[in-house]
Amino acid sequence: MSDTTATAPVVDFAAIKAGLGEDYDNPFQVLDENHRVVNQEVFDTFTDDQLVHFMEIMLRERILHEQTTVFSKQGRLGFYAPTLGQEASQLGSVTAFQPQDYLFPSYRDLPQMIEHGAITPAQGFLWSRGHVQGNRMADGHRSWFPQIIIGAQHIAAAGAALGLKKNGEDAVAFSYSGDGSTSQGDTYEGLNFAGAFQAPLVMIIQNNGWAISVPRDYQTHTRTLAQKAVAAGVPSVQVDGMDILAVHAVAKAARDFAAAGNGPVMIETLTYRFGAHSSAGDDPSRYRTHEQEQPWFDKDPLNRLRELLTEKDLWSAEHEAELKDAYKKEFRAAIKEAEAAPHQTVTEFLTNTFEEPTPNIVKQLEEAAAAEAEEK
């Protein structure tokens, strides 16, 4: 008894599906892969000194990565998540924030903590080695420690953003995670809470294409990750994460927007992890081919800015070589400083668990103190 007359569907889901995310199709860019300025208006907001500074800090991060890899192979470090390739995404964004802004990093975001002034490179090494001093921020520096539980940083960041708003401070919270994290409930909840409370949160999703071995397309059917913010009623943008000028300009605009009381913003940076997921035995050749990777290597964020600066006579190979030497020396001193940190004790572990020790801890402290005194 079916009606055979052709009629338009009640709801044209096919058309809706085809159009989902189309507003996000063009990533924001200032400097293209051939180091041509494609957005002159934004480019003109940067001074020569700023451009050189960006190049210097990206070079420093790259040398930090190289030295970390060396120290790791020497067995002088523990867990380490490589940052090679993400320099523009990480440093372009963090430099857009103010010292009073509260940083919530993931385990790959130690360069931002260092740049934000929260930790020294030696503390970064201590974190990798598994030492509490790596989690202690410099006085007055607002940063969380690197979050291991993917997504947890975003719900805490939403709370910090609300707290800053309630304090009446000119400050925002900003948080980082990767493409895989956008599948987590906490990532959505964090953005949705910040949206519901119109709290000043800038959530930065660094989309490097891979969550360990799982490609981004396996995480979600969405055309972009940025469009996920629509679900929270939060504005968002996709940006070329290999273009430090684009990342910085977008992050600064997001910071200004959030700080002005307009609620949260989400940013998706399109970047690439040139190396392994982590130092813990990951081998990207098991799941990625050189053919897949080469186009991303061609987008190296350092090359792009280096070419531009060289053309403008603001950079030279000699200057770069001098800087590299200085950074290497700095990080070699830092690893020695980290290695010289005092051993942690069970009494410290027990003492740090509560402000006022509970009765069971009081008893265990006595035992631990006695055992430690005997060892000495």
Partner 1 sequence: MTTMSYIEAVTSALDNVLAEDPKTLIFGEDVGKNGGVFRATQGLQDEFGEDRVFDTPLAESGILGLSIGLAATGWRPIPEIQFSPFSFEAADSLIGQMSRNRFRTAGDIAQPITVRSPYGGGTHTAELHSDSIEHVFAGVPGLRVVAPSSAYDAKGLLVSSIENNDPVLFLEHLKLYRSIKEDVPEDIYRIPLDKANVVRQGTDITLVAYGAMVHECVKAAEELAKDGIAAEVIDLRTISPIDTDTIFASVDKTSRLVVVQEAQNMAGVGAHVVTEVAENRILSLEAPIGRVSAPDSVYPFAVDEHAWLPDASKIVAKAREVLSY
Beta-bridge partners for 269: 206, 239
Whether 272 is catalytic is no
d(CA 229, CA 146): 23
Give me the least distance between CB of 232 and partner 1, in Å please: 10
Query: Is residue 342 within the footprint of partner 1 (CB under 8 A)?
Result: no
Name, in order, each residue with C-beta under 8 angstroms of 255's C-beta and a sequence gap of 6 or more. 96, 97, 98, 101, 172, 174, 202
Query: Is residue 259 within the footprint of partner 1 (CB under 8 A)?
Result: no
Q: Which is nearer to partner 1, 85 or 178 (CB)?
A: 178
Whether 277 is catalytic is yes
Query: Is residue 113 within the footprint of partner 1 (CB under 8 A)?
Result: no
Query: Is residue 276 within the footprint of partner 1 (CB under 8 A)?
Result: no
Query: Is residue 167 within the footprint of partner 1 (CB under 8 A)?
Result: yes
d(CA 97, CA 99): 7
Q: Tokens 């995310």 — which residue?
A: 21
Query: Is residue 285 within the footprint of partner 1 (CB under 8 A)?
Result: no
Q: Which is nearer to partner 1, 189 or 307 (CB)?
A: 189
Site residues for partner 1, window 75-104 (CB under 8 A)? 102
Query: Is residue 263 within the footprint of partner 1 (CB under 8 A)?
Result: no
Q: Which of 76, 136, 287, 288 is catalytic?
A: 287
Q: Which is nearer to partner 1, 188 or 327 (CB)?
A: 188
Residue environment code for 41-64, b if the CB has 16+ CB neighbours within 10 A, otherwise e: ebbeebeeeebbebbebbbbbbbb
Residue from 158, 226, 245, 247 binding partner 1 (CB under 8 A): 158
Identity of the amino acid at 74 = Q
Residue from 53, 76, 136, 288 binding partner 1 (CB under 8 A): 136
Residue from 51, 88, 173, 249 binding partner 1 (CB under 8 A): 173
Name, in order, each residue with C-beta under 8 angstroms of 253's C-beta and a sequence gap of 6 or more. none
Decide if 269 contacts 85 (C-beta within 8 A).
no
Query: Is residue 55 within the footprint of partner 1 (CB under 8 A)?
Result: no
Query: Is residue 156 within the footprint of partner 1 (CB under 8 A)?
Result: yes
Taking alpha carbons only, the member of 270, 277, 267 closest to residue 296 is 270
336 Cα distance to chain centroid: 26
Query: Is residue 119 within the footprint of partner 1 (CB under 8 A)?
Result: no
Residue from 85, 111, 159, 241 binding partner 1 (CB under 8 A): 159
DSSP H or E stretch at residue 203: strand 201-207
d(CA 79, CA 59): 22
DSSP H or E stretch at residue 270: strand 265-270
Give me the least distance between CB of 116 and partner 1, in Å please: 15
Give me the least distance between CB of 158 and partner 1, in Å please: 6
Catalytic annotation, residues: 273, 277, 287
Contacting residues toward partner 1, per CB under 8 A: 102, 132-133, 135-137, 144-145, 149, 152, 154-164, 166-167, 173, 185-186, 189-190, 192-193, 196, 348-349, 352-356, 358-361
